[in-house]
């Protein structure tokens, strides 16, 4: 078999404004760090970068947990890590389900032989703590799991009551923080979260490929006293932890250049400051919603339950979902997300994560969306841009 290497062009996708559910735009500093020379994963210089990445992750998770590290793999690897290390056959596991990613945790629980208990909420709504309390009553529960920021719907579930319910039942509290991590206040230690995981490609604005996780002392005790071996060799944190701990015992080859990128993205977060970063995400969210509603469009999630970094809007009657997304990408280089699951074909998901959460992107998107919808003869009210700009002016 022969092949002409000159038939393959250099990779150049062009610039995009990534306003979908992830990945988000990556700052030049992070790409530059990623392009630094690759060195050995046991090189003393690299071990220093590992230590620094762990320090910065603890800062972002707002935790003192020694066991805090990036798993090799995307956020779904973090989800699998968080379940495969703690769920054994026959364990009672309660999973809160209000979207696609809650369903994914249900699937994993069943694959691991756990006894699944589901507490469901309408897609686009937060989980009701009282429903969880009723489901937990009288059960010997091993784990209570919830998606804090449901990327498929834009709904945010408050965690404090669920943490109390889990601990009163003697269970570990597991939180999917993939979309909310570094974009809003989720304090692992203060909230009482035993197990948390995230991804690099959302509010951290790092390329996809790593999944930060953190395990508290209660979780580590359970992990170290398992009755059976962790069924995944690659994701067995008893072994992976020895590489990221004091012994630096080889397990698998670390994603060296991705860890460079993660470290740099975390440095950017620390330079901005967590509080200022949360405020920035919320300000841009408020401006986006003001603009959309001024145009006559409606949000899916009630105001008090909305995520600031993932905004789900109902597709107006008569608008072509696929055409709108395609035209935004082709004409304006703006990517937004389609609906998933129960919301497929009914909503658009507009991300404002990390480096993407900037006023110029919000204002450009509102202008581009209005032009794209008017091209389809959709009736809109005028004033979207003005409404968004007014939010910024009031804040400044």
Tens of pLDDT, residue by residue over 251-282, are 999 999 999 999 999 999 999 999 999 999 99
Rounded to 5 degrees, φ, ψ at 46 are: -70, -35
Please give the pLDDT value at position 396.
85
Tokens for 24, please give them.
Answer: 């988000």
DSSP 83-144: HHTT--TT-EEEEEESSHHHHHHHHHHHHTT-EEEEEE--TTS---HHHHHHHHTT---SEE
CA nearest 378: which of 332, 322, 315, 331? 315
Domain ranges of the chain: 28-270, 274-395
Tokens for 301, please give them.
Answer: 């999630």
Tokens for 254, please give them.
Answer: 């670390």
pTM: 0.96
3-state DSSP assignment of residue 189: helix
Please give the pLDDT value at position 304.
97
pLDDT band for 1, please (50, 70, 90 cuts): confident
pLDDT band for 217, please (50, 70, 90 cuts): very high
pLDDT band for 340, please (50, 70, 90 cuts): very high
The CATH number that domain 274-395 falls under is: 3.90.1150.10
- For residue 23, cis peptide bond before it (omega within 30 degrees of 0): yes
Q: Same CATH fold, 274-395 and 28-270? A: no
Per residue in 125-167, pLDDT (tens digit) is 999 999 999 999 999 999 999 999 999 999 999 999 999 999 9
Does residue 225 contact residue 73 with C-beta atoms inside 8 Å? no
Exposed, middle or buried by CB within 10 Å (0-12, 13-18, 19+), for 208?
A: middle
- Classified by CATH at the fold level, domain 28-270 comes out as 3.40.640
Region 32-44 average pLDDT: 97
Per residue in 290-322, pLDDT (tens digit) is 999 999 999 999 999 999 999 999 999 999 999
Gap between the Cα atoms of 262 and 57, Å rounded: 9
Residue 15 has pLDDT above 90, yes or no: yes
CA nearest 282: which of 134, 133, 180, 386? 180
């Amino acid at each position: 078999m022969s092949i002409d290497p000159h038939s393959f062009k250099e990779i150049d996708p062009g610039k995009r404004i990534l306003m979908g559910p992830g990945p988000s735009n990556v700052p030049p500093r992070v790409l530059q760090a990623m392009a630094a020379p690759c060195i050995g994963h046991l090189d003393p210089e690299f071990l220093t970068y590992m230590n620094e990445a762990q320090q910065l992750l603890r800062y972002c998770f707002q935790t003192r947990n020694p066991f805090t590290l990036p798993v090799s793999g995307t956020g779904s690897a973090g989800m699998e890590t968080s379940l495969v290390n703690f769920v054994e056959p026959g364990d009672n596991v309660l999973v809160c389900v209000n979207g696609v990613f809650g369903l994914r945790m249900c699937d994993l629980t069943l694959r691991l032989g756990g006894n699944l208990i589901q507490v469901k909420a309408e897609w686009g709504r937060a989980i009701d703590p009282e429903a969880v309390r009723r489901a937990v009553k009288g059960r010997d529960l091993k784990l209570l799991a919830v998606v804090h920021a449901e990327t498929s719907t834009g709904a945010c579930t408050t965690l404090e009551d669920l943490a109390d319910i889990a601990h009163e039942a003697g269970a570990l509290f597991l939180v999917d923080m993939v979309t909310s991590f570094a974009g809003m206040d989720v304090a692992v230690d203060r909230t009482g979260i035993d197990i948390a995981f995230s991804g690099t490609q959302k509010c951290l604005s790092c390329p996809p490929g790593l999944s930060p996780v953190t395990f508290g002392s209660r979780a580590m005790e359970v992990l170290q006293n398992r009755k059976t071996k962790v069924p995944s060799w690659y994701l067995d944190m008893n072994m992976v932890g020895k590489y990221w701990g004091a012994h630096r015992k080889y397990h698998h080859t670390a994603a060296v250049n991705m860890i460079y990128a993660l470290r740099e993205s975390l440095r950017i977060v620390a330079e901005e400051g967590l509080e200022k970063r949360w405020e920035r995400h919320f300000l841009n969210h408020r401006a986006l919603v003001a603009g959309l509603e001024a145009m006559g469009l409606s949000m899916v999630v009630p105001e008090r339950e909305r995520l600031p970094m993932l905004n789900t809007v109902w597709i107006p009657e008569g608008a072509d979902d696929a055409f709108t997304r395609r035209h935004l990408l082709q004409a304006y280089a703006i990517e937004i997300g389609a609906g998933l699951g129960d919301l497929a074909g009914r909503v658009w998901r507009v991300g404002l994560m990390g480096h993407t959460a900037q006023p110029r992107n919000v204002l450009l998107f509102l202008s581009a969306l209005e032009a794209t919808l008017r091209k389809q003869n959709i009736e809109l009210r005028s004033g979207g841009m003005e409404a968004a700009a007014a939010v910024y002016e009031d804040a400044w």
